[in-house]
Amino acid sequence: MLKRDEYIKKIVPFIDKDVIKVLTGIRRSGKSVMLKLLMEELKNRGINENQFIYINFENLKYRNLKNYERLYDFILNKVDDKYKSYYIFLDEIQEVEEWERCVNSLRVDEDFNFDIYITGSNAKLLSGELSTYLAGRYIEFVVYPFSFKEFFEIMKEKNKEIDLKEAFQDYVKFGGMPFLHNLDYNFEASMQYLQDLYASIILKDITKRNNIRDTDLLERIINYVIMNIGNIFSATSISKFFKSENRKVATETILNYIKACEEAFLVYRVARNDLLGKKILNVNEKYYIADHGIREAIMENNQKNINQVLENIVYFEMLRRGYNIKIGKIDNLEVDFVCKKNDETIYIQVSYLLASEDTKEREFSVLENIKDNHPKYVLSMDEFDMSRNGIKHVNLIEFLIK
């Protein structure tokens, strides 16, 4: 089991603090494993296992606890010493009706000391009622599928001789869903797992939660989004696409369906930022898929669309590193990623290969038009350095592994 230290380091400062730790992210990204890793961390600190209360609401054993009052009573019946701290781990909490009432009651309970950790696979977890009950009392950690660095570490456990290039080719194909490690990255078995996972996300996290009846339309919209990863488009673009196929679909419906996919952490929307006018543009955004392995499983062409996939990989790498990301626009030119964290800004261009002078000029010239001193990178699979005019050219694999 990979320890995923980067996540543990972020969560550890909040152990025994009066905030609810909320782990979110796409289904099967490793949230349950993170709870187990946190339990190991607590045991290493001398906490006894009898102070842990762990409930996975996808387990039928707990099917009668999907009401907030029953859950509250169940947890209180598990504790017997008000001088001890108890650590509560509630996995896939969104399965419980009005769960926030239970969690808030536990948080304010004056008889017992509870440290609460919850996971959920839907962004609605942190909206609506939760904001009312727990405003300012929770902190969110998004758990993503494996980064390439994590993927390489786990591949080395199976094959110590594997090199970076070989591992990266596998990563482009398989993506970062943790369970594939248990399948030894067998291609057929892995693709079947990812197809089933995709179907489960569609059913449980999107259609069921949003009362969507037209699943065929939903899947066609998702397919359009996934096929256009890294391309600028709008709901109107999709509406026109359907119109060309003699099907009328309202832009509002398209927007609602895409929003439901965002809430399930399946796709991520990235707004454009006018770097000269210093304003967010409200039309024509970009989307990326949470795991490019799912794209391979349903589209079968990651290598064919390698530029899109590499851009997708870099986008999520920068999210993992804690950056807020926008697409940059300068006149008619576009910067792939404008990444900001606190006072730090990084500009990034992503390309498969700088194989021609035209490609090289396109990737470098847009960054040369930005008149500030923030770091600027061109990432590609090329192995020799083509840095120029203060713009760093870095091998994409080396960038991901550092």
The whole-number pLDDT of residue 81 equals: 87
Give the closest residue to 173 by CA, choosing from 287, 292, 290, 289. 292
Cα distances (angstroms) measured from residue 291 to each of 71, 112, 263, 268, 315: 33, 40, 15, 11, 11
| Residue corresponding to tokens 């870099």 | 314
- For residue 87, pLDDT beyond 90: yes
In terms of residue numbers, what domain contains 155?
A: 148-401
Give the closest residue to 231 by CA, choosing from 331, 289, 300, 308. 308
Euclidean distance between the first and the last CA atom of the chain, given in angstroms as a whole number: 21
Whether 158 and 137 share a structural domain: no
Give the closest residue to 25 by CA, choosing from 144, 139, 178. 144
Q: Judge residue 252's burial from the number of C-beta atoms within 10 Å of its C-beta, 0-12 exposed, 13-18 middle, 19 or more buried.
A: exposed
Greater pLDDT, 284 or 348: 348
DSSP label at residue 111: S
Give per-residue pLDDT as tens, 373-400. 999 999 999 999 999 999 999 999 999 9
Give the CATH number of the domain where residue 30 resides: 3.40.50.300
Q: Which two tokens mark 238?
A: 């999709």
What is 272-293 written as a DSSP string? EEETTTTEEEEEEEEEEES-HH
The whole-number pLDDT of residue 130 equals: 62
Q: The whole model's pTM is what?
A: 0.95
The whole-number pLDDT of residue 129 equals: 56
Instruction: Calculate ∠ Cα 218-219-222, nearest 5°.
Output: 90
Whether 110 and 187 share a structural domain: no
Which of 98, 123, 142 is the C-terminal boundary of a domain?
142
Whether 229 and 274 share a structural domain: yes
What is the average per-residue pLDDT within 93-117?
92
Whether 136 and 153 share a structural domain: no
- How many domains, the chain? 2
Whether 90 and 183 share a structural domain: no
Whether 278 and 390 share a structural domain: yes
Whether 327 and 221 share a structural domain: yes
The whole-number pLDDT of residue 135 equals: 77
Which of 127, 142, 157 is the C-terminal boundary of a domain?
142
Q: Where are the alpha helices (DSSP H) in 175-291?
A: 187-200, 208-210, 215-227, 235-244, 251-263
Whether 45 and 132 share a structural domain: yes
Give per-residue pLDDT as tens, 118-141. 999 988 877 765 667 777 889 999
Q: How many CB atoms lie within 10 A of CB 113?
A: 16
The whole-number pLDDT of residue 282 equals: 57
Give per-residue pLDDT as tens, 96-107. 988 989 999 999
Which of 142, 171, 197 is the C-terminal boundary of a domain?
142
Give per-residue pLDDT as tens, 222-280. 999 999 999 999 999 999 999 999 999 999 999 999 999 999 999 999 998 877 655 55
Whether 227 and 370 share a structural domain: yes
Question: Residue 115: in which H helix or E strand, if any?
Answer: strand 113-120
Of the listed ranges 3-17, 71-85, 118-132, 174-188, the one predicted with least confidence = 118-132
Whether 67 and 180 share a structural domain: no
Percent of the chain past pLDDT 70, that is, above it, reads: 97
Give per-residue pLDDT as tens, 352-361. 999 999 999 9
Whether 156 and 95 share a structural domain: no
Whether 198 and 213 share a structural domain: yes
Q: How many CA atoms lie within 13 A of 101 on its CB side?
A: 11
In whole angstroms, what is the distance from residue 125 CA to residue 121 CA? 8
